């Protein structure tokens, strides 16, 4: 079974749009998401555009703040502080990566944790690790929703996560652990990767190496979540980390690239924005 992230994302967004319509009547305004883009990297522009499109679909107010690549770190932080103080803005996101002269961690830490819709601020990361309420990162959240939608049993099963970034690998491993999976995290120093992946009931791959995972590296019936997005050097086409054609016949469920995790990440961003708004309005 192929898990369509597109279809599930549509369901999630339709549900959000329904809530926005009634909250607008109740609270007098819609949720407002502000996305900051520094510089004009073409891939980042595409991501920012998709986020704006999704925000419009669910009925949010949406501001795109385009800042020049030469902006200083302090100027960017000052701008974020202004947005933090603006009661009409519910969610703030800074599109990554940032230009080299700007320290990512300083910028993320400048965002009010209550408006940190990406869930990257240390308060929200801390909340995840301590099982406290907080904003969960969008991609890991989307992955769990996809597994649930596909009816994959997580508790008691062996989940192998390849990749340990703070954005995907690490938090998804924690969410799986919290759902009572036995979790192994593999990374670029892991030896004999295939010996580990072949033991996985659930395999989450988030590395950015096209088609690294081949049929010989998985067991029959595995649930495969392919997070990777890169370009196949042979065809130039968008590719996941999993060799879809060879792995799909062995998998019980699998996500495609494109149309898998990507749309769900954006849908979860909308959900996080709505949550920030409702927390504020219902305070």
Residues near ligand NAD (CB under 6 A) = 139, 162-165, 167-169, 186-188, 190, 193, 206-209, 212, 227-230, 261-262, 265
- The least distance separating ligand NAD from the CB of residue 247, rounded to whole angstroms, comes to 16
Q: Is 71 helix (H, G, I), strand (E, B) or coil?
A: coil
Q: Please identify, using beta-carbon distances, which residue of 233 and 249 lies nearer to ligand NAD.
A: 233
Is residue 61 among the annotated active site residues? no
Which own/partner pairs from 247-250 qualify as long-range (CB within 8 Å, at least 24 positions apart)?
247/213, 247/214, 247/215, 247/218, 248/2, 249/215, 250/215, 250/218, 250/219, 250/220, 250/221, 250/222
CB-neighbour burial class of residue 140 (10 A; exposed 0-12, middle 13-18, buried 19+): buried
Would you give the distance in Å from CA 227 to the centre of its chain?
A: 9
Residue of 90, 116, 118, 226 marked active site = 118
Is residue 178 among the annotated active site residues? no
Q: Please identify, using beta-carbon distances, which residue of 97 and 221 lies nearer to ligand NAD.
A: 97
Q: Please identify, using beta-carbon distances, which residue of 79 and 145 lies nearer to ligand NAD.
A: 145
Residue of 13, 79, 90, 95 marked active site = 95
Length of the chain, please?
Answer: 283
- The least distance separating ligand NAD from the CB of residue 22, rounded to whole angstroms, comes to 29
- Strand 158-162 to 253-254 pairing: unpaired
- The least distance separating ligand NAD from the CB of residue 238, rounded to whole angstroms, comes to 10
- The least distance separating ligand NAD from the CB of residue 140, rounded to whole angstroms, comes to 9
Q: Please identify, using beta-carbon distances, which residue of 23 and 244 lies nearer to ligand NAD.
A: 244
Give, for 127, the enclosing helix (H) or strand (E).
helix 122-129
Is residue 232 among the annotated active site residues? no
Catalytic residues: 51, 95, 118
């Amino acid at each position: 079974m192929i898990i369509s992230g597109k279809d599930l994302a549509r369901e999630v967004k339709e549900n959000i749009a329904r809530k926005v319509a009634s909250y607008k009547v109740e609270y007098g305004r819609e949720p407002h998401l502000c996305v900051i883009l520094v510089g004009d990297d073409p891939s980042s522009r595409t991501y920012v555009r998709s986020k704006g499109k999704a925000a419009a679909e669910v009925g949010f107010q949406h501001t795109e703040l385009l800042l020049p690549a030469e902006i200083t770190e302090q100027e960017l932080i000052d701008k974020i502080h202004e947005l933090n103080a603006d009661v009409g803005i519910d969610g703030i996101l800074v599109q990554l990566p940032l230009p080299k002269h700007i320290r990512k961690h300083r910028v993320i830490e400048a965002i009010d944790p209550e408006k940190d819709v990406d869930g990257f601020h240390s308060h929200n990361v801390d909340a995840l690790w301590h099982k406290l309420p907080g904003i969960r990162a969008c991609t890991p959240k989307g992955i769990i929703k996809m597994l649930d939608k596909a009816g994959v049993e997580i508790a008691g099963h062996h989940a192998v996560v390849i990749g340990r970034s703070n954005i995907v690998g690490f938090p998804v491993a924690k969410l799986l652990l919290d759902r009572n999976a036995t979790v192994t995290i593999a990374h670029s120093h892991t030896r004999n990767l295939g010996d580990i992946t072949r033991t996985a009931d659930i395999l989450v791959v988030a590395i950015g190496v096209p088609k690294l995972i081949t049929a010989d590296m998985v067991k029959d019936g595995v649930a495969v979540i392919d997070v990777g997005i890169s370009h196949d050097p042979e065809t130039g086409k968008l590719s996941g980390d999993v060799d879809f054609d060879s792995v799909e016949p062995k998998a019980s469920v699998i996500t495609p690239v494109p149309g898998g995790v990507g749309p769900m990440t954006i849908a979860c961003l909308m959900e996080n924005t709505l949550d920030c708004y409702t927390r504020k309005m219902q305070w």
